[in-house]
A and B are shown apart, each in its own frame.
Chain A
Amino acid sequence: MRKPLTAGRWVITIAVLAVLCAVAIAAAISVGTTPVKPWDFWSSIGTEEHIWIARILDYRMRRAILAALIGAGLATAGGGFQAILRNPLAEPYLLGVMGGGAFGAVFVMAFDITGMGVRPLAAFIGSALSMALVWIIARGGKSGPRAHSLILAGVIVNAFFAGIIMFATSVLGTGKVKSFLFWMMGDLASERGPGWLIFVGLYVVLGLVLILPLSRDYNLLALGEDSARQLGVEVGRVKMLTYIGACIITAACVSVAGLIGFVGLIVPHTIRLALGPDHRLLLPACVLGGAFFLLVCDTAARSLFPVTEIPIGAVTAFFGGPFFLWLLRRRGAGIFSERS
């Protein structure tokens, strides 16, 4: 139904997406709740305002980098999960991350363990452990766990932790719960130290390094596990590497930014609808597309309503949802049928 992927088409698509990302970064640095513009940095040199303009730009830049990293990571992790689980509903939070990460965050909140970086670390450990738990529960034979077992185990682990979280939020004081709820809705505003940027950056890059080279295997896996195995794909290994890659990305993202829904689900699907299902293009496009999408959403979240920042999760769903439905209607749902 689509022209096969050529090197030319690959380069052009990626270049266009990269330019879009660059534009989004420029926009993110230029827009905010104050009228400061990037070029004020140079025009204000020598004045008293200079340092403050630099600080504001520094703030916007950090957020932009964080948004780009997390968008790229979550979208690629989602794409990877969709490939190994062969389920259109697969997304990074499906496999226990949500529950585990939130549990970690609630745990430190409940016991009043505070300090720099305690919540992100707790969330990171929580989500990493719960994902390991899901893998162990669902583990299968040589070809790795079956997709259905993984999804079911993930959903149940999430539900179990959700129970604990609901209990904790109903018992704990309102002030604490409020800040926790913001975290649950996705929060790019709390952890932005340069250390955290490096932290997230490292994990996202590591995850991408694990996932991206598997594109060919994903293409074969789309034909079904048995066919893929006959064609020489080590199904178990592919699943394992993808799982580890996607998990470290997701855990790192959750730890600093809470649960930013929708990115990991919608970006891979949108790109698949727009560019076709070939993972060699799909996955790199997810990296750039995810970064672009979250950059735009975060810029909107922090500048649309001054003083009251909107949770970014609300923005991603509000803008992403209708756009995706429109695309789905236009392209038809047929594109998914070949994968089920």
Chain B
Amino acid sequence: MKRLIQIIAKWTFIICALSALLTACVNSNAAPKRQDRTPQRIVSLAPSITETLFAIGAGDRVVGVTLYCDWPVEVKNLPKVGQFTRFDIEKMLALRPDMVIATCDAPSETINHELTQYGIPALVVKAWTVEESIKTVREIGRAVGAERKAQAIAGDMERRLRKLRERLKDSPKVKTVLAYDREPLILAGPGTFADDIIRLAGGVNAAADARLKYPRYSIERLVLRGPEVIIEAAHGGGYGDVARKRAVAFWNGWPSIPAVKSGRIAVVDADIVSRPGPRIIEGLEAVARALHPELFPIEETDR
């Protein structure tokens, strides 16, 4: 019995070691090909990337996008290759891309590994703050050979960001929460993209005490935190007057929240405050306007 166990243990070990070695060898063979010409068939794996590509004038070279890509409108007719975390590799291959751009929120490891095996260059971008999204615009521009236009857009974003900072320099920090959903109440927690936006827009995230990035926040706790402004990020274009009325009607159930008392409830388009693309500055300005209406006379546009 004992000998048997020893023999089995030995063999299991040998086979383990062999298979590990084999795995390492076989996988290291697939070296990525160097990209020596500008990509002509680009697949974008995130809405923000799609928006960036179109903004920097590479839109006509985009051949595939995700189900969530909806801006600009032309995107709607492009083939879809996946959602956020799952991709249809077969569809992607059928589009014959020579460049795939993903965010690091996507299972980039898989994507990267998968695509390098097939010799398709992949670019993985990371944009978890507004500054990083500006950097990303440049990075994508370099990767797809649209450097000049990307530079111009990134420069414009930087200029608007600077202007906003200048304007908010002396204003007090406003206690704010940004809600993605009402029932259950999902707020933007610390370390999120929205958290950065609130900070840049001259606010302080009242939900920063949460442990999770996107916590299910209890309304009682929110009452205790006493936010002065509530911003709702509405999906699917529902950010008009009707949406605002509905939001106000819901929040009126908690009149002790300062934001409700003073009626400072704003509804913004979720797409412009949650996508780290070129429109993020618009989102940032919209939030800043909601936080500091006194600094933004109604007629003024920031262009």
Residues of A within 8 A of B1 (CB): 236-237, 240
Decide: A195 and B83 in contact? CB cutoff 8 A.
no
B214 close to A (CB within 8 Å): yes
Residues 82-100 of B, flagged 1 when their CB comes within 8 A of A and 0 if not, give 1111101111011010000
The contact string, 1 if C-beta is below 8 Å from chain A, for chain B 202-229, is 0000000001111000000000000000
A306 at the interface (CB under 8 A from B): yes
**Chain B 1-44 interface 0/1 with A at a Cβ cutoff of 8 Å (1 = within):** 10011001001100100111011111100100000000000000
Q: With the chains together, A281 CA to B227 CA distance in Å? A: 70
* Number of interface residues, chain B, beta carbon within 8 A: 44
Contact, CB under 8 Å: A59 / B82: no
CB B35 to nearest CB in A, in angstroms, measures: 16
Partner of B86, one of A59, A199, A308: A308
User: Which of these binds chain A: B104-112, B136-144, B232-240, B253-261?
Assistant: B104-112
A307/B83 in contact, CB under 8 A:
yes
- Closest chain-B Cβ to A184's Cβ sits at a distance in Å of 13
**B120 nearest in chain A by CB position:** A55
Residues of A162-206 at the interface with B, using a CB-CB cut-off of 8 Å, are: 171, 173-175, 178-179, 182, 189-190, 192-196, 198-199, 202-203, 206
On whether the beta carbons of B86 and A306 are closer than 8 Å, the reply is no
Q: Known pairs A189-B89, A196-B23. 6 more at Cβ < 8 A? A: A32-B90, A189-B110, A199-B22, A237-B1, A306-B91, A309-B86
CB distance A199 to B93 under 8 Å?
no
> Which A residues are in CB contact (< 8 Å) with B94?
34, 36, 52, 56
In the complex, B118 has a CB within 8 A of chain A: yes
Q: Quick check: is B67 within 8 A (CB to CB) of the other chain?
A: yes
CB atoms of B93 and A56 under 8 A apart = yes
Q: Which of A59, A189, A202 contacts B93 (CB 8 A)?
A: A59
Query: Contact at A114–B109, with CB atoms within 8 Å?
Result: yes
Residues of chain A lying within 8 A (CB to CB) of residue B117? 193
- A102 at the B interface (CB under 8 A): no
Query: Do the beta carbons of A307 and B93 come within 8 Å of each other?
Result: no
Is B80 in contact with chain A by the CB < 8 A criterion? yes
Within 8 Å by CB of A179, from B12, B26, B85, lies B85
Chain A residues close to B by CB (< 8 Å):
32-34, 36, 49, 52, 55-56, 59-60, 114-117, 171, 173-175, 178-179, 182, 189-190, 192-196, 198-199, 202-203, 206, 236-237, 240-241, 244, 248, 302, 306-309
Q: By the criterion CB–CB under 8 Å, are A34 and B23 in contact?
A: no
Give A178 to B86 CA distance when docked, in angstroms.
10
Q: In the bound complex, do residue B213 and residue A193 qualify as a contact, i.e. CB atoms below 8 Å apart?
A: no
Bound CA span A51–B211, Å: 49
Q: Is the CB of B19 within 8 A of A175?
A: no
Q: Are A244 and B90 in contact (CB under 8 A)?
A: no
Given the complex, which residues of B lie within 8 Å of A237, measured CB to CB? 1, 4
> A55 with B118: in contact, given A34-B90, A171-B211, A193-B27 (CB under 8 Å)?
yes
Q: Whole-angstrom distance between the alpha carbons of A49 and B25 in the complex?
A: 29
Question: Is A302 touching B90 in the complex (CB atoms < 8 A)?
Answer: yes
The CA of A69 and the CA of B114, in the complex, are separated in Å by 20
Q: A52-B93, A193-B117 are in contact. Are A174 and B214 (CB under 8 A)?
A: yes
CA distance A171 to B211 in the complex (A): 8
- Interfacial chain B residues near A193, Cβ < 8 Å: 23, 26-27, 30, 113, 117
